[in-house]
């Protein structure tokens, strides 16, 4: 018994429109709002599924994008991946996710997916510093590629990131406004591009206020609770500060724990600020002042840029897009009497 599957012609008839309009809609092209609603209703009623193989032959594209993630178990990547997926869902593309860190491969190894025509474009998502050599290989390839995170200073490649330095500028400016002049920094790990940018932003913001950052008050951590705890203990041995800018929330939470363990009260004795706005930050005591990253918007913008590059070879966009983070003020900071 042969089952007749619904066709584009059936969708067009039920939605009272043309086959060409249905085709435009299925290929992610804009149609009138009332037409879109009629098409969605018709597709749902008919349980219509496009013939992807035929569609790919006509378009000479796979209609698939590859998302290469450093570590897919990292919760920070979840909203980024959702932003990417949601944008490509709207455009009629499938997303295939790959991970490289756990199997010890390099990001650049996945460029073969483009050369083998398995995907139409790639988005690489990583918080790790990239080598200039690898990024140059990606940039010089004749395929659409977008990076999320570090771009190794290669300005010719499309890349999206949060303006980490700007986020720390906002933190230092806020602490300065509420009277702090002796400000310490718990820096991130050297392998993380964002950590280096945040440290650079800290030093720069301090200089903007006429304050030379005290190197004894800059202590490195590994972005874990334990790392922040250890860094705060080291800072307490040095002393002479009233506020701490931690490179991420986990370090800040560890620092608060160390301060409490040593008999100090936050924010009465020290103001502490984090970066990321992870879920637990608003529930610890005291609730943490931090910098919120636009993770989902980062993913959406990366997908938008990649799509434009895939469908229009003449398309142009700013190669490096930096999204502004948001300072979230809670209760871990206190005004202090300024001495000038």
Q: Are 169 and 286 in the same domain?
A: yes
* pTM of the full structure: 0.80
The CATH number of residue 222's host domain is 3.40.50.2300
Quick check: 42 and 21 in contact, CB under 8 A? Answer: no
Which residue intervals of 241-294 are DSSP H helices?
249-261
Residue 37 CA to residue 215 CA, distance in Å, equals 60
**In-domain check, residue 20:** no
Q: Which of 39-53, 130-144, 261-275 has the lowest mean pLDDT?
A: 39-53
Q: Are 170 and 278 in the same domain?
A: yes
Give 326's pLDDT tier (boundaries 50, 70, 90): very high
What is the pLDDT, as a whole number, of residue 1? 44
**In-domain check, residue 330:** no
**Considering its fold, how many domains does the chain have in total?**
2
**In-domain check, residue 310:** yes
Return the closest-CA partner of residue 79 out of 275, 323, 303, 296: 296
What is the pLDDT, as a whole number, of residue 264? 97
**In-domain check, residue 315:** yes
Whether 270 has a pLDDT exceeding 50, the answer reads yes
**In-domain check, residue 249:** yes
The mean pLDDT of 300-310, rounded to a whole number, is 95
Q: Which domain holds residue 270?
A: 164-292
Residue 319 CA to residue 294 CA, distance in Å, equals 19
Q: Which of 41-55, 262-276, 295-309, 311-325 has the lowest mean pLDDT?
A: 41-55
Give 187's pLDDT tier (boundaries 50, 70, 90): very high
Q: Are 253 and 159 in the same domain?
A: no
Q: How far is CA 302 from CA 134, 178, 200, 296, in A?
A: 19, 37, 25, 10
Q: Are 309 and 265 in the same domain?
A: no
Q: Are 158 and 298 in the same domain?
A: yes
Q: How far is CA 325 from CA 48, 126, 277, in A?
A: 41, 18, 10
**In-domain check, residue 336:** no
Sign of CA dihedral 111, 117, 118, 121: positive
Q: Are 300 and 180 in the same domain?
A: no
**In-domain check, residue 5:** no
Quick check: 119 and 65 in contact, CB under 8 A? Answer: yes
Residue 256 CA to residue 283 CA, distance in Å, equals 13
Mean pLDDT of all residues belonging to the chain: 91
What is the pLDDT, as a whole number, of residue 329? 98
pLDDT tens per residue across span 91-103? 889 999 999 875 6
Q: Are 155 and 299 in the same domain?
A: yes
The mean pLDDT of 236-256, rounded to a whole number, is 97
Q: Which of 70-74, 273-277, 301-305, 318-322 has the lowest mean pLDDT?
A: 70-74
Q: Rg of the chain over CA atoms, in angstroms?
A: 25
Q: Is residue 103 left, alpha or beta, with left meaning phi > 0 and alpha meaning psi from -120 to 50?
A: alpha
User: Scanning the structure block, which residue is given the tokens 């608003």?
Assistant: 282
Q: Are 122 and 238 in the same domain?
A: no
User: Scanning the structure block, which residue is given the tokens 């599924």?
Assistant: 49
Which residue intervals of 68-192 are DSSP H helices?
77-90, 112-115, 132-140, 164-177
What is the pLDDT, as a whole number, of residue 56? 52
More confident residue, 329 or 106: 329
Q: Are 174 and 274 in the same domain?
A: yes
Q: Are 208 and 288 in the same domain?
A: yes
The mean pLDDT of 48-76, rounded to a whole number, is 73
């Amino acid at each position: 018994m042969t089952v007749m599957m619904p066709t584009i012609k059936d969708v067009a008839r039920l939605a009272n429109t043309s086959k060409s309009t249905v085709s435009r809609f299925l290929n992610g092209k804009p149609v009138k709002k009332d037409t879109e609603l009629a098409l969605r209703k018709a597709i749902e009623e008919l349980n219509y599924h496009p013939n992807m193989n035929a569609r790919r032959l006509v378009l000479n594209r796979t209609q698939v994008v590859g998302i290469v993630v450093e570590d897919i178990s990292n919760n920070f990547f979840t909203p980024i991946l959702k932003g990417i997926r949601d944008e490509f869902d709207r455009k009629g593309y499938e997303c295939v996710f790959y991970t490289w860190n756990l199997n010890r491969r390099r990001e650049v190894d996945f460029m073969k997916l483009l050369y083998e025509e398995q995907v139409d474009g790639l988005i690489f998502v990583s918080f790790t510093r990239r080598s200039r050599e690898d990024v140059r290989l990606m940039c010089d390839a004749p395929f659409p590629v977008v990076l999320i995170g570090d771009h190794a200073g290669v300005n010719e490649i499309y890349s999206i990131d949060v303006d980490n330095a700007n986020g720390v500028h906002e933190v230092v400016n806020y602490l300065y406004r509420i009277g702090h002049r002796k400000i310490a920094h718990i820096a991130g790990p050297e392998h993380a591009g964002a950590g280096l940018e945040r440290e650079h932003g800290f030093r720069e913001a301090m200089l903007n206020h006429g304050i030379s950052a005290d190197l004894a008050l800059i202590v490195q951590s590994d972005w874990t609770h334990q790392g922040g705890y250890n860094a705060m203990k080291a800072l307490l041995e040095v002393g002479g500060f009233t506020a701490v800018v931690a490179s991420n929330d986990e370090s800040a939470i560890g620092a608060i724990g160390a301060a409490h363990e040593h008999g100090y009260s936050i924010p009465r004795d020290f103001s502490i600020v984090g970066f990321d706005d992870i879920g637990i930050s608003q529930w610890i005591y005291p609730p943490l002042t931090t910098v919120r990253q636009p993770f989902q918007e980062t993913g959406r913008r990366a997908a938008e840029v990649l799509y434009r590059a895939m469908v229009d070879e003449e398309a142009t966009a700013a190669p490096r897009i930096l999204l502004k983070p948001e300072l979230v003020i809670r209760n871990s900071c206190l005004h202090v009497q300024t001495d000038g």
